[in-house]
Amino acid sequence: MKITFIGAGSTVFAKNVLGDVLATADISDAEIALYDIDAQRLDESYKMLTNINANINQNRARIHQYAGVELRREALKQADFVINAIQVGGYQPSTVIDFDIPKKYGLRQTIADTLGVGGLFRALRTLPVMFDLARDMEEVCPNAWLLNYTNPMASLTGAMLRYTSIKTVGLCHSVQVCAETLLKSVDMPTDNVVFNIAGINHMAWLLDIRRNGEDLYPEIRRRSLALTEQHDDRVRHEIMHKFGYYVTESSEHNAEYMPYWIKRNYPELIQQFNIPLDEYPRRCIEQIERWHMQREQLTHNENLTHTRSLEYASYIIESMMLDKPYKIGGNVLNNGLITNLPREACVEVPCLVDAQGITPCYVGDLPPQCAALNRTNINTQLLTIEAAVTGKKEHIYHAALLDPHTSAELSIDDTIRLCDELIAAHGDWLPSYH
């Protein structure tokens, strides 16, 4: 079995995902191909994984590194699983552009990796690379599964499923931690909980949560309303009270997926709901600084070990290779799974994994208000894909004009001017649009 990791220079994430493989006995003899365009970061990940392989796996895995676009096909050749964790454009220049130019127009963001003009342009610069990756896979590993961890999850995964032949599933850890996060926030125990989640990535809904058959939502809502102290999850709690259900991804994310919180005419909402504007650039700077301290510990520690995490990838690989059924929350093409969302949308639903692959579960209708909120995000996602596939600039405008937060703050003309300025600023990071 061969696993190829695209974007392996993401050393900490590579440790979690590939360390999980090395820590799982039945798949730990894999051939692992590490690929990145940054040779230095790639070599650091290689040294780290080599140490883990020696310390917990008796060097059973065969690990190779491939640096540069010219070696990507070689890294992919005959792979059974391809893990994608790339960031096209990086913090500098692209993330800075995504935040600074909208700010000139009075449009503030928190994370900007999924929706909004930041998420839109992140998708536009990433999709050409994803399509190149798909073409290579179609030639050298056409039967491989692509496990996509890169954001914006719905736009990228949906485009791969609709416009390539590659078997693709999008993976995000927000589903795993959703119920536990909510229960902890209202000081309720997290054991023996059964829950059901469906929707779209970063805006999937905790539709049901029970312990021993008892519906926990009434007590959760009561305790939530009684919270008096300021906390970091106020947006999600407000969504739960106003729309009836808790949403999977964090409050800083969801604050920019809807038009209700980041508003120039209501600046008091930022403090009231504890919304961290410009959060993602701050995180990038902190991560870069932290990496300088972590580098030595991770890449030169000959005693480095790893304990299996909750990331889905190793469980999916183990499940498919050994025919051990496993349940995930996966991002897949809708095709009628959620009956009140568009068929071509990428949705996040329960999926069964076994030797047959990944089988999504039928959900039916979401509560109408939840489906309506999802559709506001799906509109922008589908038009972003349309822009990337057709090369038409007008669809970039359409995607931005239908974005809930952008359209709540800017006029049509300013939105179009903003898009044009973002296109110009990205330069060669974007293909040409006509």
Q: Return the active site residues.
A: 173
Residue spans of alpha helices (H) in 146-208: 153-163, 174-185
- Can you point out the beta strands (E) in 301-419? 326-333, 346-354, 357-360
DSSP-assigned beta bridge partners for residue 328: 351
Q: What is the DSSP letter of 364?
A: B
Within 10 A of 427 (CB to CB), how many other CB atoms are there? 9
Identify the bridge partners of residue 199 per DSSP, sorted by sequence position.
204, 348
Instruction: Please give the Cα distance from 175 to 214 (Å, whole number).
Output: 21
User: Tokens 């994608």 appear where?
Assistant: 84
- Which residue is listed with tokens 């009140």? 340
**Three-class SS of residue 265?**
coil
Q: Taking the mean position of all CA atoms in its chain, how far away is CA 127? A: 14
Q: What is d(CA 272, CA 19) in angstroms, rounded to the nearest whole number? A: 41
Return phi, psi of residue 432, to 5°.
-80, 140
Q: Map residue 215 onto helix, strand or coil.
A: strand
Question: Is residue 286 within 8 Å of residue 56, measured between CB atoms?
Answer: no
Q: What CA–CA distance (Å, rounded) separates 280 from 284?
A: 6
Counted residue by residue, the chain has a size of 434
